Amino acid sequence: MKLSTCLAAVAAVAVSHASPHPALGQQQTLGISQHAPQTSISDKFDQTDASFIDQDPLLSFHRDLVSIESVSGNEHDVGIFIAKFLEAKNFTVIKQEVAPVKKKGVGAQDEDQTPKTRYNIYAYPSSLREQPSILVTSHIDTVPPFIPYSVHKPESSTVQSNLDEYVIAGRGTVDAKGSVAAQVYAVLETLEAHPDAKLGLLFVVGEEIGGDGMKTFSESEINAKSAYHTVIFGEPTEAKLVSGHKGMLGFEVLAHGKAAHSGYPWLGKSAVSAILPALSRVDQLGNIPVSKGGLPSSDKYGPTTLNIGTIRAGVATNVVPATAHADVAVRLAAGTVEEARELIQKAVKEATRDVEAEVKVDFSNHNEAYSPQDLDTDVDGFEVMPVNYGTDVPNLTVRDGVKRYLYGPGSIFVAHGDNEALTVRDIKDAVKGFKKLINAALDRD
């Protein structure tokens, strides 16, 4: 079933029942977005159709997570909610403060930043007297914009539809609060069967904006004193084990010319005319063989890809543009960051050899840079695949020999879209999947 088709065709079922969780006081009453057309609700589906969410601790926890807006930089409320929830489950919880996010954009001042404190949430069973040997982790921030939580009947539904086929939509349902909820309940169920299991939970902020939360944890004393031999990361992987993901780096291409009246362009130097050949070359670097100055490919990850995400230039159509700026993201399939940067610098220099304005490459505003990340897949019972997106995996420093797994419910193909959604079955199956990974790790204790 295509989720985008399903979401376009089905009616939203409002969920406004009281939460069974103790820390829900700071969030708004759930229901249909005020922007949603009221005519989309079918008379034959009343609110009781979604009452099964209230009756299921896992699903209601997931609902409560998604209902708290936590766009990157604004994770305070969801962090406090998770901390209180875990404390009520007899976990020792450490709220690790992470620096506020500075605002960007036109008119932003250096002192502008997010108003509330942000916390990584690190937790372990209060009965545990040793360092956790298994760390289960995901992120609690989301991309914008906030999309309210809603429940939908499957496309080909009947009144007696299997509740596991219901679709749960909203920002973060997939990326990555689906993983957070499944991880929490996988750990709780594992502890019921193995009370002495040395498990730790870590939920970080800022993954969607460069990983400042995980970097803060990685550099902390908690991580320096860690004893874990296994880290299980949660991201949308369609319930498959990920064998690795591409590396990442970013850069800016900057052109500086001279302004002039557009009727007399020879009196100026067009920054746009200068930057265009550079961007044309950059845009093709993933398709050019390394022997001819291109970026590398690999059998595992395919070609390196580049995306020229933003371009800004000029002030008016009757003014020769004095400046031009482009921001580029690279998904690196092979090689090192240093090698890629050298190739990019050389390509831009060659492409702009004959232009009048100055063109340069600047890597300084992109701190997130890493080579391809290979991951462990030695637990039976999972399909395996590589992915193209980035994660917090490279932002956590681990000792040699530590196993790293990447797994979670939902698809990356809807994760950042307005159709972000997964099914009830996806979340329930993810609990089983995370438990399988945890149990395999326990066998190594």
> What pLDDT digit, counting tens, does each position of 131-154 carry?
999 999 999 999 999 999 999 988
Residues 97 and 240 in one domain: yes
> What is the spatial distance between Cα 390 and Cα 235, in angstroms, rounded to a whole number?
10
Decide if 1 is inside a domain. Answer: no
167 or 14: which carries more pLDDT confidence?
Answer: 167
Cα separations in angstroms, 29 against 17, 148, 421: 9, 10, 20
DSSP, collapsed to helix, strand or coil, labels residue 201 as: strand
Decide if 38 is inside a domain. Answer: no
Q: Does the CA dihedral 240-142-181-38 come out positive or negative? A: negative
* Burial grade of 295 (CB within 10 A; 0-12, 13-18, 19 or more): buried
Residues 251 and 327 in one domain: yes
Decide if 23 is inside a domain. Answer: no
Residues 120 and 228 in one domain: yes
Tally of structural domains, the chain: 2
pLDDT tier at 126 (50, 70, 90 boundaries)? very high
Residues 241 and 256 in one domain: no
Given the residues 207, 208, 235, 420, select the one marked as catalytic.
Answer: 207
> What is the spatial distance between Cα 46 and Cα 305, in angstroms, rounded to a whole number?
47
- What is the residue range of 255's domain? 247-362
Residues 282 and 430 in one domain: no
Residues 5-20 have a mean pLDDT of 42
Q: Which of 362, 382, 412 is the last residue of a domain?
A: 362
Residues 234 and 253 in one domain: no
Question: pLDDT tens across 57-86, in order?
Answer: 999 999 999 999 999 999 999 999 999 999
Residues 224 and 261 in one domain: no
pLDDT tier at 293 (50, 70, 90 boundaries)? very high
Domain containing 70 — which CATH number?
A: 3.40.630.10
Whether 207 is catalytic: yes
Decide if 121 is inside a domain. Answer: yes
Question: pLDDT tens across 394-411, in order?
Answer: 999 999 999 999 999 999
Q: And the tokens for 415?
A: 């994760």
123, pLDDT greater than 60: yes
Residues 301 and 194 in one domain: no
49, pLDDT greater than 70: no
Residues 79 and 143 in one domain: yes
> What is the spatial distance between Cα 66 and Cα 59, in angstroms, rounded to a whole number?
11
Strand partners, 385: 242
Q: Contact at 8 Å (CB) between 6 and 155?
A: yes
> What is the spatial distance between Cα 223 and Cα 231, in angstroms, rounded to a whole number?
12
Q: Which of 205, 58, 210, 216 is nearest to 142 (CA)?
A: 205
Classify 422 in phi/psi space as left (phi over 0), alpha (psi -120 to 50) or beta.
Answer: beta
Q: Which of 362, 391, 422 is the last residue of a domain?
A: 362
Domain containing 287 — which CATH number?
A: 3.30.70.360
Residues 332 and 436 in one domain: no
The most distant pair of C-alpha atoms in the chain lies apart, rounded to whole Å, by 80
Q: Which of 362, 387, 420 is the last residue of a domain?
A: 362
Residues 199 and 258 in one domain: no
- Asked if the bond preceding 57 is cis, omega within 30° of 0, the reply is no
Decide if 254 is inside a domain. Answer: yes
pLDDT, position 198? 98
Q: Which of 335, 359, 145 is nearest to 255 (CA)?
A: 359
Residues 145 and 168 in one domain: yes
Q: What is the pTM of this model?
A: 0.84
Contacts of residue 291, defined as CB under 8 A and 6 or more positions apart, other chains included, come to none
CB-side neighbour CA atoms (13 Å) of 362 = 12
Decide if 233 is inside a domain. Answer: yes
Residues 365-373 have a mean pLDDT of 91
Q: And the tokens for 355?
A: 């232009």
